[in-house]
């Protein structure tokens, strides 16, 4: 993974851990072991804001950033996409198995039972 | 007029052939060949339908579709949109209407394809951005990103520069090591052969005609064939039984009631069809049979395009 992607992840982790919006300086301080330049943190937050994964609001002279949604909701969004439950997004992703009806799942369970424990 | 009639016959013939192809059993024996047959039918249908309308509308110029289009443009620009050619014809209004319908259909198809493409690119970019943030790597699962979610899912995210295979934590839990390898091989086959591009025209047809049930049916049929292509690729590296049990474990652990009215009877057998095909191998199409289908597809395309140039 590239360095920028790695930084974006680290910054998101920090934002997800804190419950309140943070300034660039606060994010930089939380990642002090990485020894990042102020402008680097600002660039990363700016990129994340452009991607729509963080929201920002001006407070006094500084911007405050917070995640647009929780980690869990992003994971769910990806899974929703993947299982083809989001309407006409089919061509974007090809799931190994789409979500299916209970009937079909039952038929598969029966077939699997026959293979896993062959009847004597 | 002869070319218009022949093109119309081809357009109707494509529908008949598509209906038969959907019910035929041989596509499971040669999914690659069948996908090509579907593409040829789809393309020939579009070209012949538009061609038939234009050939009828432009018959007054007597130069075929291509020549007629040029003559029409020349005529319209020379006489300030007063069509001297059409004015001579007894059913001019119908012919002008046919030309307009043809142009409209072209526009709808073109816009459908473009809109589909834009939507797909946008969805993938968003998906990729999020995946970068919440996906993780696992040294035990090389070649795939892991998504921490209890439901079982495995999919690929195609892209020119950054394509990825994604496996959910739920899937890791239900699959054993060899089944997992088979699933990853299947997904890599999708990425390697850019199956997403093969499917794109069919999904955009579906988008262009959202109310037309049959388009959804075509789309699903081709999608299933493409899955079978990837199954066949994975089968070269892994045993078919591993892939089949992986499919079944996914299904058994992943029942959802699909949103909307998607729970039609046709799709209920899709995964089962793949499982059955893996466990009881069907005889692949012989070389001669494949060649016959491919020649048929090539002939259909050649005749359709040729008819655009026939002046009568």
Same domain, A14 and A26: yes
Q: Is A4 on the interface with B (CB under 8 A)?
A: no
Rounded to two decimals, the pTM is: 0.84
| Residue pairs between chains A and B whose CB atoms are closer than 8 Å | 164
Give contacts of B255 with chain A, Cβ < 8 Å: 99-102, 104-106
Considering only CB atoms, which chain B residues are within 8 Å of A5? 132
Domain shared by A86 and A108, yes or no: yes
Position B79 scores a pLDDT of: 77
> Residue B57's closest CA among B3, B89, B99?
B99
From A28, A45, A67, give the residue that closes a domain. A67
ipTM of the complex: 0.81
Chain B: nearest CA to A58, how far in angstroms?
Answer: 24
A76 and A61 belong to one structural domain: no
Q: Of the ranges A1-10, A74-83, B102-111, B241-250, which one carries the lowest mean pLDDT score? A: A1-10
Residues A14, A30 contacting (CB under 8 angstroms): yes
- Among residues of chain A, what percentage have pLDDT more than 90? 43
Contact list, A78 vs chain B (CB under 8 Å): 127, 130-131, 134, 147, 149, 166
Measured between CA atoms, how close is B82 to chain A, in angstroms?
A: 43
* B124 interfaces chain A, CB cutoff of 8 Å: yes
pLDDT tens readout for residues A38-69: 999 999 999 999 999 999 999 888 899 999 99
Q: Read off the pLDDT band of B86 (50, 70, 90).
A: low
The band of B254, judged by pLDDT with boundaries at 50, 70 and 90, is low
Averaged pLDDT of chain B: 87
A11 with A57, same domain: the answer is yes
Across the interface, whether the CB atoms of A79 and B153 are under 8 A apart is answered yes
Closest Cα of chain B to A94: distance in Å?
6
Q: What angle do CA B40, B45, B51 make, to 5 degrees?
A: 120
Query: Does A41 share its domain with A79?
Result: no
The yes-or-no verdict on residue A85 having pLDDT over 70 is no
With beta carbons under 8 A apart, name residues in chain A contacting B153: 79, 82-83, 95-96
**Domain count of the fold of chain A:** 2
pLDDT digits (tens, 9 = 90+) for B132-148: 999 988 888 888 999 99
* A111 in the same domain as A79: yes
Chain B from 245 to 264: CB within 8 A of any A CB: 245-252, 254-260, 263
- Confidence band for A84, pLDDT divided at 50, 70 and 90: low
In this model, does residue B247 exceed pLDDT 60?
A: yes
Q: Are residues A99 and A51 in the same domain?
A: no
From the list B155, B267, B272, which residue is nearest A108 (CB)?
B272
**Whether residue A31 is found in the same domain as residue A60:** yes
B139/A contact by beta carbon, under 8 A: no
Task: For residues A82 and A79, give the distance between their C-alpha atoms in angstroms, rounded to a whole number.
Answer: 5
* Whether residue A21 sits in one domain with residue A45: yes
Q: What is the pLDDT of residue B262?
A: 35
**How large is the average pLDDT for residues B248-262?**
56
**Inter-chain touch A95–B153, beta carbons under 8 Å:** yes
**Which pair of tokens denotes residue B25?**
């059993």
| CB nearest to A82's CB, from B166, B258, B268 | B166
At a CB cut-off of 8 Å and minimum separation 6, what does A58 contact? A64
pLDDT digits (tens, 9 = 90+) for B192-213: 999 988 988 888 888 778 788 8
Residues A88 and A46 in one domain: no
* Whether pLDDT at B18 is above 50: yes
- Of A67, A85, A101, the one marking the end of a domain is A67
User: Which one has a higher pLDDT value, B234 or B87?
Assistant: B234
Determine the residue of chain B that is closest to A3 in CA distance: B132
* Predicted pLDDT of residue A3: 74
In terms of domains, do A28 and A75 share one? no
pLDDT at residue B266 tops 70:
no
| C-alpha separations of B17 from A71, B6, B54, B206, B297 in Å | 49, 16, 23, 18, 11
More confident residue, B268 or A9: A9
Q: Reduce the DSSP state of residue A57 to 3 states and report it.
A: strand
Q: Do A96 and B186 touch (CB under 8 A)?
A: yes
Domain carrying residue A55: 3-67
């Amino acid at each position: 993974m590239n360095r920028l992607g790695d930084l974006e992840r680290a910054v998101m982790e920090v934002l997800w851990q804190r419950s309140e919006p943070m300034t660039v300086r606060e994010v930089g301080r939380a990642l002090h072991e990485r020894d990042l330049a102020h402008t680097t943190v600002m660039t990363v937050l700016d990129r994340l804001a452009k991607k729509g994964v963080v929201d920002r609001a001006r407070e006094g002279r500084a911007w405050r950033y917070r995640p647009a949604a929780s980690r869990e909701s992003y994971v769910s969004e990806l899974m929703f996409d993947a299982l083809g439950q989001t309407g006409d997004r089919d061509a974007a992703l090809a799931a190994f198995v789409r979500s299916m009806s209970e009937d079909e799942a039952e038929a598969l369970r029966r077939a699997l039972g026959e293979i896993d424990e062959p009847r004597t | 007029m002869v070319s218009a009639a022949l093109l119309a016959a081809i357009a109707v013939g494509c529908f008949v052939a598509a209906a038969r192809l959907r019910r035929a059993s041989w596509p499971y024996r040669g999914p690659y060949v069948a996908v090509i047959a579907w593409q040829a039918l789809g393309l020939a249908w579009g070209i012949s339908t538009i061609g038939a309308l234009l050939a009828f509308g432009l018959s007054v110029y007597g130069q075929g579709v291509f020549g007629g289009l040029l003559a029409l443009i020349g005529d319209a620009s020379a006489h300030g949109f007063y069509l001297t050619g059409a004015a001579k014809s007894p059913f001019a209004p119908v012919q002008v209407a046919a030309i307009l319908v043809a142009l409209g259909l072209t526009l709808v198809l073109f816009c459908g394809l473009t809109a589909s493409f834009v939507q797909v690119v946008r969805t993938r970019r968003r998906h990729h951005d999020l995946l970068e943030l919440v996906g993780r790597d696992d040294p035990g699962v090389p070649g795939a990103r892991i998504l921490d979610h209890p439901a079982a899912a495995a999919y690929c995210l195609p892209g020119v520069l950054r394509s990825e295979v994604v496996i959910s934590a739920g899937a890791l839990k239900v699959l054993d090591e060899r089944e997992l390898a088979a699933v990853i091989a299947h997904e890599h086959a999708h990425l390697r052969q850019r199956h997403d591009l093969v499917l794109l025209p069919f999904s955009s047809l579906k988008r262009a005609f959202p109310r037309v049930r049959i388009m959804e049916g075509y789309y699903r049929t081709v999608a299933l064939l493409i899955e079978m292509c990837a199954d066949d690729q994975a089968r070269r590296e892994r045993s078919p039984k591993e892939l089949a049990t992986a499919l079944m474990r996914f299904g058994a652990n992943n029942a959802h009631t699909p949103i909307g009215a998607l729970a039609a009877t046709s799709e209920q057998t899709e995964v089962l069809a793949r499982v059955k095909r893996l466990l009881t191998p069907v005889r692949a199409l012989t070389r001669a049979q494949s060649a016959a289908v491919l020649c048929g597809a090539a002939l259909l395309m050649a005749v359709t395009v040729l008819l655009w140039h026939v002046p009568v």
